[in-house]
Structures are given as structure tokens and as C-alpha cells.
Structure 1
Amino acid sequence: MSVVSPKTTSVPSPPAKRPFFDWRVWTVAIVLLVAVGLAVLFGVKQNAQQGFFGMRLFPLKTAYDFKLHGPNDVEVRLDQFQGKAVLFLFGFTHCANICPTSLTNLTEVYQALTPEERKQVQVVFISVDPNRDTPQTLEEYVTSFDPSFIGLTGSKPVIDQTVLAYGGSYEMVAGPTNQPNDYSVNHSAYTYLVNPSGKLELLYGNEKLAEVPRMVSDIRAVLREPRS
């Protein structure tokens, strides 16, 4: 697969000691930042004529072919899912709010599909916390939502490249103690839909994932599209 060139920004270094931010304020700020980045990278458009609930990217471009590690530390590439609709998001297993809510909503969306449709859909959770999220930790976390979900991680440079390629960002924020694992991660909260032809087609803010019937409608529409 060809790749979408990442935008030229830098991902922050490991955490410096500072107070926690209000996650709600951060969410609003980072969604706006990512929306601008995606508009620059992909030309985000809401395509009312085709009736999609998510933000449609136009023109469609081949999705960046990430190479990360999944269960049993086996390499997993995006192009392995060619022929399926892939819904993926960035997060981390210690996330207190956005990640579990998003995955719970995606579970409801996935289970609302027919058994045949589920065979054509893959949900992927990509960690932005490689220090704590091992392949085993991720597998236990994502399969607690649905056994078919896959959790991926990798080295920090590889994760950084993947996040940037999709117009995202993240920031590690130190906690109140001096413990090395006492930190949180502020991160972009979009869910991306890659169509069965490997094109990045739709984007969803985390608040949209709760609209199960409309999410299901989008997925079914994407599965019906001609393959290219």
C-alpha cells in the first residue's frame, strides 16, 4: 500500500513534571487541533449528498500502512485487513474516561451488525503508551470489550510516526508523585474508518460513537461500496 505522508510536527518527549490538565478542556482543544491537521492532510469534508454520519475525507487516499505489534508480539500491518472495514483509534489502557467509553460504544456498534457483517469489520486499538501497554496487557484490555478486538503497540518512534501520519497528537502528563509510572496521556480522540479497499474514508469524534444506528448505517454503506 502507498502511504499518506505525515504532517511535519513533533511528538512531545517523555513527561516533565506538571499538574494534570482538566481532560474535558484538553479534549476540546485537541479535537480542534486534529481537525485542522486532518483538513490540511486529507481535505476533510462532510458529504451530505452521500448521507454519511461521519466526516468524509475527500479525495479518498490510501491509508498509512502502520506496522505495529499485537498479541504474542506478532507484527500486524494495516494491509493485512484489506477487504475489511477497519475502525481504529488511539488510546492507552490506563485511560480513565475517553478510551473505555469509546470502546464500549464501538462494542455496541459492532454487536449491532449481523454476524456476516462482523466478519467484514475489524476494530483496532493503538496504544500511545508503549512503556506500560505491552501486547499482553493490550490483548487483555481490548478483548474485555469484545474478543475480536485487537490491541497494537510498538516502539515510541513507530507509534509517533503512525500518530502523525493520521494527523493526531498526544502528550504525556506527569502525575503528582515522583513515581516513573505516575502519568497520564492526553491524546487525540478520533476514530478512523478505513474502507475495504484500504482508503481512509471517515472520521468520528468520540461523542459520535454513541449514535449506534447511524454508525452502523455508515459501516454498511462502506461495505456496499465498489472495491477499488
Structure 2
Amino acid sequence: MFKLLIIEDDTTLFNEVKERLIDWSYDVYGISHFENVLEEFTAIKPDLVIIDIQLPKYDGFHWCRMIRTYSKVPIIFLSSRDHPTDMVMSMQLGADDFVQKPFHFDVLIAKIQAILRRVYDYNHEAISIKTWSGATVDFERNTVTNNVGSIELTKNETLILKQLIEGKNTIVSREALIKSLWDDERFVSDNTLTVNVNRLRKRLDELGLGKYIETKVGQGYMAREAKNL
């Protein structure tokens, strides 16, 4: 669930937009004290900020400038001011879009979705690639590559390896692995997981990596990070 921060002093408008965004399954926050916007922003750590230009104490341009000092979070200006210089100023300060009041909510939600998709889909791609024991593991393409070569894994093999790498150097229980692989673990025999792990280890042996998947008897498995690489 994405966290959205709305910096808006019009309580009626804030509540209306908040209610509509919650209907779209967003987690929505507001500002309690407009003299401490940066502190509240830092505490909330939103995925996107919607900010008005005209605010108490300091205007939205000021807070945009302050946020940009610490973060590259997407920012949308929401304002009744329609002078071209306001739009230009917002973009120069690093805002991602400008929506003029009054606005149709469908326009706002479309802009929010487009920005989140652009920014966080890219980040997802980066997160889908991990390094482990001198190898590059691509969970999207189901591949493992190191200086020996490259192999392609099955979906189940990739899911097992992903769980183990995310908890590398710690034991991942058999129960956790079974639950991540099969929707209803009641109908999965314990031997099924063993077979899948052994297949994964055999494939990794082609790259000299099978030895780094360790069996912890009675507990589960562990992906050990090779040292001195």
C-alpha cells in the first residue's frame, strides 16, 4: 500500500480527497502543524506528496524546496493559482506535476497512478536483482549468473532461492518455504520441498554454488554468503 501525504490546510478539501484516495486503497496522511511540515514528512516517509501552494506560515514552494533537500519523493502541486509562473516555479523546484483547482478527481488519480507506476515500477526492477556469493540473481528472469556461466531456474526454484537469499546467513524454516510456494500447504508432502531444494542445489552446482545452500536438519535451509569473494 502506497503512503500519500497531503499538505493542504483546507480541511474540507483534504477530507474529501483523503476519503476518495482511501477508496483506491492508498494510505493517506495529513499535516498536523504547518510550521513543522518537514518534521512530519520525515516521520511519515510517504511514497508521494500532494501539496498546495498557499499554506499557513510558509508556502508550498518553500516546503517543496525543503523536501527536495532530503528526498526525491514524487511531488504533485495542487493549487487554485493558475499563473504560468506558478507552474514553472513548481517544476523548477523538482515537482512532478501540477493540478489546478477545481479539478476532477479522476484526473488527480490518473496522475497519481502514472507517477507511482513510473517511479516505483523502475525501483521494483532494481530490487528484483540481487547479488549472492559472487553471483547475480535475477528473480524476474529466473536466472543466476557468475563468472562460470549462467543458468535458468524453474519458477519454484527461483522462489526458493529468493526466500533463502532474502534471509541469507539465517535459517528459513521448511514451513515458511512451503507456504511461499504452495497456496494450501496441507496437501503438500514434506518430501516435495526436499525434492525441489535438491533440484535447485543441483542446478546451482553447475556454477559452483550448490554448496552454499545448507540443510539445517529439523529446522530448514540457509543460503550462506561465500566469504572472500
Would you call these one fold, judging by a TM-score over 0.5?
no
User: Who wins on radius of gyration, i.e. which is larger?
Assistant: 2
Which structure has the highest strand share of the two?
1
Which structure has the highest helix share of the two?
2
TM-score (norm 1): 0.30
